[in-house]
Copies of this chain bind each other. A is one copy, B any other.
C-alpha cells in the first residue's frame, strides 16, 4: 500500500526500509502479549510467567546496522490496577477534565492544520500570479523569447534551489510527500525528528517552492504529513504550556505513545480533509493507508478532527479570496467542492457504459504500474549515483531548467490558438495568436494545478485539442516522475489526477468523435474517471478515494462508475507491479517481513 509513495524521496526509501528492522526489546513484545491475553479473557498470572521468562532471553534479534535512534512505539492500552488506583487518587473531576482537554487538543489540531493549509495556499497563489504576470508581460508585450526563457528559468530555478536547500541542509527528513513517514509512525516506528517544528517549517517552505516553481509535485501529500506533524506538535505545545502547574495531572495522561499516535492520525486526516475538502475521505484515507492499530474510538476522534478542519479551511479561503474571484459560481470560484460541482442534469451514465469504465480502470492501472515501476528504478538510480548534497542540488536545478525549457518550447512549437472562453481564462497568454484568442497549452503551464484540474473537468469539449492534451499528458508524466524523487516536498495526488484527467479527456474526445450521443458536449465525466483510474492505479486505495471523489465533486451519482474504475485500476495495478518490489517495500509495514537495506 505504501509502495507507491516510496519513490517520493530517497531519504524515505531508506527510512522506510530501515524502519522495519526496528529493534524490539523482548520486554515490549511480551507486554504486547500480555495485553492480548487479557483481551482474550485470560488472567494476569500467564502474563507474569511471560514477564519472568523475559529475563532468560538474550536480545538475539537486534539488528546492528540500524540506527539506535529508531525505536518502536507502544500503542497498547494499559488497564492495570495501578492505572485504576491512580485515576481514583486523581478523582473523577481530573478524569473528566482530561477528556475535555483531549477534545480541545483535537479541536486545536484541526484549526492549526487548516490554518497552515490556508497559509500555504495563499503564498502559492501569490507567487504563481507574480510569475504569470512577469511571463505574460515579456511574451505578449515585449515579444522577446530569450528574455522570457530566462525569466521563466529564474522563476523555476530560484524556488527550486530554496526548496531543495532547506531540505538538504536543514531537515533532510522533510523530503518527499512524507506519507511513508506517517504510515511508519502510525504503525509503530518512531522516526527521529518526525514531529519537530523545524521539519514542519522546512516542509511548508519546500512545498510552497515546489508548487510555485511549476514542478510536477502537489501539495496534498505533504499536507497529510504536515497535518500529522501539527498533531504531534500541538499536543507537545499543550504539555509544555501546562506541565508546570495544576494542569500537569490533567494533561499527563495524554502524554503517551497511543494518544500521540491518535492525534497524529487525526492531524493527517485533517490535512487531507482540508486539501480536498473531504472530511469522510480524509478519515478513511488516514485509516486505509495509515493506521493498522485501529479502533472505533480512534475512528471518531479522527473524524471529528477532519470534520472541524474542513469548514475552517473553507471559511478561511472564502474570506481571503473573495476579492479575487468572480462572485458567480465559476469553475475558479473557491467553491466548497474541490473539483467543482458537476451538474447532475447534464452528466449522467447508463449501464451500457460499464465496459468503458472497466477499460478506463485497466488503462489507469497499467499506467499507474508503469509510473510506480519507473519511479522505483529512478529511486534506485538516485540511491546509487546521486549521493552527495551537491549532486542532489544540481539534480534539482537540472530538473527545474528542464521544466522551464519544456514549458516554453511546447508553447512555441504547439502554437494552437484557442478562442477565449467566457468562463474564465485570465491566466493565459496570447503569444502569436490573434486578439481574443490565446495559446492553448499556455493555460496548462500557467494555471495552478487546482485551476487546471477544474478546467479539465468542466470546460466544454472543444476547449482543448487532442494534440495539446496528449503533449500535456506525456510531458506531465515525465515531469512528475522527475519531481517526486527530488529532495523537496512534493506529493503525487494532484499530478496523478492531472495526468489521468488529461487522458480521460482525450478518451472522451475520441468517444465523442465516434458516437457523439454518449457524452453530448460534456467530457467532464470521462476526465473524472480517468483521474480516478490514474490515481487509483498509483495509490491503490479504493474506498477512501471513492469517498474523496464523491465529496470533492459534490456528486453521489458517480458512485458506481467510480467504484468500478477504482477497483479495476487497483486490481490491474496489483497485477502488473512486480510482486518482488511490493515485498521489499510495502510488506514491511503490513506484516513483519524484515527488509535489508543492502538488498535494494
On A, residues with C-beta under 8 Å from B are 1, 20-24, 26, 28-30, 32-34, 36-43, 45-46, 49-50, 53, 56-57, 60-61, 72, 79, 188, 279-280, 283-284, 287-289, 292, 294-297, 299-300, 303-304, 307, 310-311, 337, 344, 542-543, 546-547, 550-551, 554-557, 559-560, 563, 567, 570, 590-592, 594
Contact = CB atoms under 8 A, between A and B. Distances in A.
B542 A41 contact: no
Q: A-B pairs with the 5 shortest C-beta distances?
A: A33-B33, A24-B40, A43-B61, A294-B294, A32-B36
Contact of A50 (B24, B33, B60, B546): B33
A279 B546 CA distance: 11
22 contacts: A24-B42, A26-B42, A26-B46, A29-B36, A29-B37, A32-B33, A40-B188, A40-B592, A41-B72, A46-B53, A49-B56, A50-B50, A50-B53, A279-B559, A280-B543, A280-B546, A280-B559, A288-B296, A292-B296, A307-B567, A344-B344, A547-B547
A43 B32 CA distance: 14
Main secondary structure of the interface of A (DSSP, over half): helix
Given A39-B591, A49-B57, 9 more contacts: A28-B40, A30-B33, A40-B188, A41-B72, A43-B61, A295-B590, A300-B543, A337-B556, A550-B550
A537 B252 CA distance: 31
A283 B546 CA distance: 12
Contacts of A287: 296, 299
Given A79-B591, A590-B296, A72 B40 contact: yes
B60 A43 contact: yes
A266 to B, nearest CB: 13
A542 B42 contact: no
Contacts of A294: 294
Contacts of A283: 543
B292 A292 contact: no
Nearest to A77: B591
A255 B33 CA distance: 26
A22 B41 contact: yes
A296 B542 CA distance: 10
Taken together, the copies of this chain in the complex come to 2
Contacts of A594: 41
Contacts of A61: 41-43
Given A543-B300, A567-B304, A41 B23 contact: yes
Nearest to A59: B42
Contacts of A279: 559, 563
A542 to B, nearest CB: 5
A594 B41 CA distance: 8
B41 A543 contact: no
Nearest to A79: B591
Contacts of A56: 49
A36 B35 CA distance: 10
Nearest to A293: B294
Nearest to A41: B24
Given A311-B560, A551-B556, A556-B556, A53 B42 contact: no
A40 B454 CA distance: 45
A99 to B, nearest CB: 11
A559 to B, nearest CB: 7
Nearest to A546: B280
A282 to B, nearest CB: 11
Contacts of A560: 310-311
Contacts of A592: 38-41
